[in-house]
Amino acid sequence: MFSRGWILPAALAASQALAQAPLTLADGEIVLGWVSSSSFHFCRSWGGDKCAPRVPAVRDDIEADRTETSSQVRFSTEHLMVEIDKQDGRLRVLNRRNEELMAETASAARTGSEIRVERVARPGEAFYGLGARADAEADARGKAIESGRPFLFSSSGYGLYHGGPGVFRFDLASTNPDRYTVVARPALRFEYYFYYGPALKAVLEEHMRVVEPRGRLAFGILSPADLPEGSVVVSSPAGASWESLAAAVRSLVHASLSAIPSPAFDLGPFRRAPAALYRRAAQLASVAPLVCDTASRPVAGDMAKARYGLLEMRRRLAPFLTAYVDEVEYRGYPVWHPLPFQYPNDKEAGRLADQFLVGDELLAAPIFTESNRRSVYFPMGNWTDLRTNRVYAGRQRVEIEAPPDAIPLFLRNGSILPLESEEPGGPMELHYTPRLAAEFFLYEPGISQYSQLHAAPALDVMRLEIDSRKTRAYEWIVHHLPPPREVRTGETVHIEVKERRSLRPEAWYYDRERGNLHIVVQAFAGEVRVTHIAF
């Protein structure tokens, strides 16, 4: 792509103006304006109404060509071709490999204050988004959905954001198996943004040019007044039940698939629930992007214990979550990575809305039944249960059981997970699951810099590296290792201690029962500390 800029060079500005010139139809006009070479804004109006060109705050320099024949107008950029029928305004979008992405079977038509458009639904095409729904399936194909959050992603490789006023109804191959329709009401014009991916991650990066995402560093339990403006809150208006907790999990996942990066989970309705249900709701809250409580009365007994566990878990996860809150700001990604987002080529993952990844590394499978059991689908890779240290191979379903006080969390092989110490003030824990190489960029909010963490096997040793922007002690916890022969940081050989509580900088401890190696390293701001483990 061309470099990003506020002012277009004269030739490119002329090209952009040409692209935004209205296409006059018998009953109105169409205006198409480029956001980037992968995205455009489309507006269809009728009668004397006019479309106003929309220019985002951040825009690429765009080379856009416009050519005409007797029957159509074609716009072309580096990544897209858009064809518009000059007679009825039907639109067709292709990528530069001449593969059709989106095609209207009937052009947008207005009847009174209702606008309707029909498009092709290809065999196997999946649809995601449309707000914080409670549907059990992640894929919305075959459903009719009315949504005030009209962000839609198609597995054909594009996203749509219908940003105009009104309520939108999407019939996603429900009435007709090879068509999908969009109906807007009340509406005078039909407007949307088209984003070419082909993956959802790229679509969200394009979307943030149009709607600026907002992350929020808030790991406590917020009051409604403390939530960011415009927050989407997932609650249980019908009351607390196991069914409403399951619905909350799915709603948070669907919100994350709908360009809502930091939805808030409302713990308030579960104050009236039995202790076991409140405990499971608190566990879900412990990994939610934001948590609020709309109830005012205090909790006691088992509920107070669960609430403390929630706050303690969020304290420990803060270094990890902070990195993904920062990613909201500069990439537009959600804090939760739903499985269709993270594994777009895995058909089984593409169906699931009741489990998710927190960031890239941590698979969460909340319990929302009284049985303390559930089926978990493990995507590709190997996954370590953080509670038991058991490893699960990917591409399979496993029935798991979790104790009442723990949410099932699984760390992907080849990951580094930073956690605050169990004892406040202790070394920051760095959990690493080999044998694949891993890295993590630890965002330091106070100084707006990144501490870099790297780990990898290297011939007959393992190499751990910390490039810290702050002075602090770190405890590497390397899972699934045999006992080491030597641990060395720089020229310093670490000494072995027999208990974890005896650890200090330049010491190591081997947990024979779990097969984990613990190493404490003191790092100073601006210093790179490299540790080698020999076997």
pLDDT tens for the chain, 535 residues long, are: 222 222 333 333 444 444 566 899 999 999 999 999 999 999 999 998 888 767 665 556 788 899 999 999 999 999 999 999 999 999 999 999 999 999 999 889 999 999 999 999 999 999 999 999 999 999 999 999 999 899 999 999 999 999 777 899 999 999 999 999 999 999 989 999 999 999 999 999 999 999 988 888 899 999 989 998 889 999 988 789 999 999 999 999 999 999 999 999 999 999 999 999 999 999 999 999 999 999 978 889 999 999 999 999 999 999 999 999 999 999 999 999 999 999 999 999 999 999 999 999 999 999 999 999 999 999 999 999 999 999 999 999 999 999 999 999 999 999 999 999 999 999 999 999 999 999 999 999 999 999 999 999 988 899 999 999 999 999 999 999 999 999 999 999 999 999 999 999 999 999 999 999 999 999 999 999 999 999 9
Note whether 311 and 318 are within 8 A (CB): no
Tokens of 3: 């470099």
Whole-angstrom CA distances from 402 to 228, 315, 366, 439, 497 are 33, 22, 9, 29, 32
> Which helix (DSSP H) or strand (DSSP E) does residue 314 occupy?
helix 301-331
User: Is the Cα torsion angle 376, 378, 384, 389 positive or negative in sign?
Assistant: positive
Tokens of 183: 């109906």
CA atoms within 13 A on the CB side of 408: 26
CATH dotted code for 415-534: 2.60.40.1180
Amino acid letter at 373? Answer: R
Fold classification of 10-207 is Immunoglobulin-like (2.60.40)
Identify each DSSP E strand in 79-224 by its residue range.
80-85, 91-95, 100-111, 114-120, 127-129, 144-147, 151-154, 158-161, 167-172, 179-185, 190-196
CA 222 from centroid of its chain's CA atoms:
22
Identify each DSSP E strand in 311-427 by its residue range.
336-338, 356-358, 362-364, 373-378, 382-385, 391-393, 396-401, 409-412, 415-419
Measured between alpha carbons, how far is 334 from 263 in angstroms, rounded to an integer?
Answer: 9
> Could you tell me how many residues make up the chain?
535
Note whether 263 and 249 are within 8 A (CB): no
Question: Nearest to residue 351, comparing CAs of 173, 199, 138, 142?
Answer: 138
3-state secondary structure of 110: strand
> Which helix (DSSP H) or strand (DSSP E) does residue 534 occupy?
strand 528-534
Question: Nearest to residue 136, comparing CAs of 368, 406, 373?
Answer: 368
CATH 2.60.40.1760 in the chain, residues?
10-207
Measured between alpha carbons, how far is 181 from 116 in angstroms, rounded to an integer?
Answer: 7
Helices and strands, number each (H, E), in the chain: 6, 39
Measured between alpha carbons, how far is 503 from 524 in angstroms, rounded to an integer?
Answer: 19
Write the DSSP symbol of residue 293: -
Measured between alpha carbons, how far is 229 from 398 in angstroms, rounded to an integer?
Answer: 40
Amino acid letter at 456? Answer: A
CB atoms within 10 A of CB 467: 17
Buried b / exposed e over 66-101, threshold 16 CB at 10 Å, is beeeeeebebbbeebbbbbbbeebbbbbbbeeeeeb
Give CA torsion, residues 196, 198, 201, 207, to 10 deg.
10
Residue 474, beta-bridge partner list: 428, 521
Write the DSSP symbol of residue 225: G
The 10s digit of each residue's pLDDT in 266-305 is 999 999 999 999 999 999 999 999 999 999 788 899 999 9
CATH 2.60.40.1180 in the chain, residues?
415-534
